[in-house]
């Protein structure tokens, strides 16, 4: 009798181990399926990468450090927690950049200044960029046989519709 109960408990223990291993495997594969790997930013497709990074920071609760809605608390313990979370946000941001992009933000102290620096580089709003885009838009519109501004006449530098 003792031998059968011993073999029964060994069988139950074995079944329990199989169940636990299967459960852990299922949970880890579930996590892996829900975890998408975001590519590192190499300078191409900035607007798409920016959107993905923003969503990732939202997901991890770190966007408040970028948009400035997080405020540094006055209590020492809360301040340490704030600094730790802000540092995690900065690390998450930096680990999705290639070395060439890290060069733009290497002297930034926090994630907010790094975000602004990278946006400043890739969303340059110079007069040269504006003129280039304007020329490209006009060329595209004229290529399709349309006037980009509708029916327009120019007379002595004045604009009439």
Q: What is the pLDDT along the chain (161 residues), one digit of tens a residue?
A: 555 555 555 555 555 555 555 555 555 444 444 456 788 888 888 889 999 999 999 999 999 999 999 988 889 889 999 999 999 999 999 999 999 999 999 999 999 999 999 998 888 766 777 787 788 888 877 776 665 555 544 444 444 44
Query: Locate tokens 């590519």: which residue?
Result: 39
Q: Are residues 45 and 8 in the same domain?
A: no
Helices (H), 98-156: 99-105, 111-122, 127-143
Backbone φ and ψ for 61, nearest 5 degrees, come out as 75, 25
Total of domains in the chain: 3
Residue 30 CA, distance from chain mean position: 22
Compute the C-alpha angle 54/91/124, nearest 5°: 50
Taking residue 65's Cβ as centre, other Cβ atoms within 10 Å add up to 22
Q: Are residues 138 and 109 in the same domain?
A: no
Q: Are residues 24 and 50 in the same domain?
A: no
DSSP code string of 80-113: HHHHHHHHHHHHHHHTTB-HHHHHHHTT-SSHHH
Domain of 53, in residue numbers: 41-124
Q: Are residues 139 and 155 in the same domain?
A: yes
Q: Are residues 105 and 62 in the same domain?
A: yes
Q: Are residues 25 and 59 in the same domain?
A: no
Looking at the DSSP bridge assignments, the partners of residue 159 are 154
pTM tops 0.85: no
Within a 13 Å sphere around the CA of 69, how many CA atoms are in the beta-carbon half?
6
Token pair for residue 59?
Answer: 């997901």
Q: Are residues 49 and 110 in the same domain?
A: yes
């Amino acid at each position: 009798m003792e031998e059968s109960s011993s073999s029964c408990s060994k069988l139950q223990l074995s079944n329990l181990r199989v169940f636990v291993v299967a459960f852990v495997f299922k949970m880890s594969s579930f996590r892996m399926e829900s975890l998408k790997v975001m590519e590192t930013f190499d300078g191409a497709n900035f607007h798409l990468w920016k959107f993905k990074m923003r969503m990732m920071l939202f997901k991890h609760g770190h966007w408040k450090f970028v948009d400035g809605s997080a405020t540094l608390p006055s209590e020492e313990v809360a301040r340490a927690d704030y600094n730790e979370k802000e540092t995690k946000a900065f690390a998450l941001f930096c680990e999705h950049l290639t070395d060439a992009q890290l060069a733009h933000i290497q002297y930034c102290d926090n994630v907010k200044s790094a975000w602004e620096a990278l946006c400043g580089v890739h969303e340059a709003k110079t007069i040269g960029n504006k003129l280039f885009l304007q020329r490209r838009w006009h060329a595209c519109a004229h290529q399709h046989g349309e006037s980009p501004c509708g029916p327009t006449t120019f007379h002595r530098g004045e604009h009439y519709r």
